[in-house]
Amino acid sequence: MKFEVVNPEELGAHKGWNNGLLAPRDGRILFIAGQAGWEEEARGEPPPFSGQFAHALDKVLAVLRAAGGDPTDLARITIYVTDLNAYRASRKEVGEGWRARLGKHYPAVALVQVSGLMDPELRDTFRALDTEQGVRAVVLTGSGRAFCSGGDVEDIIGALFAHDAAGLRRFTDMTCDVIRNIRRCRKPVIAALNGTVAGAGAVIAAACDIRVASETAKIAFLFVRVGLSGADMGASWLLPRLVGLGQATELLMTGDFIDARRAYEMGLYQRVVPHERVVDEAAALAERLARGPSEALAVTKQALEAEYSMDLDQALKHESQVQARLMEHPNFREAYEAFRGKRDPKFR
């Protein structure tokens, strides 16, 4: 079977799959997805949802015509929506637009909500935590059986086909900002890896300061498995610093899973504990760090990152400067007084 990308001239420059499809040559058109309903470069307010849907369906039909087909050749269509309520409220108008273009032909329809695709919540949370006075340590864990199993095939990976080059860059910038804000957060960040760690989840785990893993927490940097570079979200910067260049190269180029014990042996995980203890273990470590000298811990985190690219003289100069400054901090005096008084220090 030979395949071709169909992109009619009337739809303008090719934008990934935004205006195209893979179709069997001289055969039935099987799948069309990701036709943008509203161009972000267009001026003015976007039309109502029914208008956006009609515009997207016109694009689908333009591709069908360019491929030598007609509406009856359309076997399946995927509709990506960011506002499911707007879609439901517009079903009557959407149906009218559908019948006007396809008559009584009803292909299989998959409705995919993608409201979480560009959700900046995690990025913004870590930006806020950096200056949140009441927070001294952070534990990041998953809410289900996995820590994070990466991008959902439909909700994220499939939906990316609906974006032009600028939209894809906004998405990758946002995911990179998540990692940047975890690393810039001056509070200790502990990953409690309660299950599978894959794709973006693996990079998020690598960006944390300490990883406490369940025995079930296998991990893989899966990006090459979906045709993308293993160097995503800072993985090629973070991973060699944790496991060395050779180990990082193998993990990023194969996308293979390794089990928790192997991840521990290579230094990717700092602790591996029974599954039922993983969150408690991470929380206990966070509580211990939270009782520590917050400014000194922040300086330590920053030094570990900054000094990696310094030579020895530069590192010694940096540490001399920051250590002298910390000797003037109240926490240094508190540690001294606590030692003399044979009590536990109460750090700020």
Structural domains of the chain sorted by starting position, each given as residue range(s) with its CATH number in brackets: 3-113 (3.30.1330.40), 126-290 (3.90.226.10), 294-340 (no CATH)
Q: Which residue, chain included where needed, has tokens 């991990």?
A: 219
Q: Name the pLDDT band for 5 (thresholds 50, 70, 90).
A: low
Q: Is 283 left (phi over 0), alpha (psi -120 to 50) or beta?
A: alpha
The model's pTM? 0.67
Q: How many C-beta atoms surround the C-beta of residue 286 within 10 A?
A: 21
Q: Report which DSSP code applies to 156.
A: I
Burial, 256: exposed, middle or buried (Cβ in 10 Å; 0-12, 13-18, 19+)? Answer: middle
Q: Name the pLDDT band for 216 (thresholds 50, 70, 90).
A: very high
Helix (H, G, I), strand (E, B) or coil at 244: coil
Query: What mean pLDDT comes out for the span 255-269?
Result: 97
CA separation for the pair 267, 333 (Å, rounded): 35
Q: What are the angstrom distances between the C-alpha of 67 and each of 5, 43, 169? A: 9, 31, 29
Q: Name the pLDDT band for 115 (thresholds 50, 70, 90).
A: very low
Q: What is the pLDDT of residues 236-258, one digit of tens each?
A: 999 999 999 999 999 999 999 99
Contact call for residues 24 and 67 (beta carbons, < 8 A) = no
According to the model, what pLDDT value does residue 315 have?
97
What is the C-alpha end-to-end distance of the chain, expressed in Å? 68
pLDDT of 340 higher than 80: yes
Contact call for residues 75 and 29 (beta carbons, < 8 A) = yes
Q: Which of 1-5, 49-53, 164-168 has the highest mean pLDDT?
A: 164-168
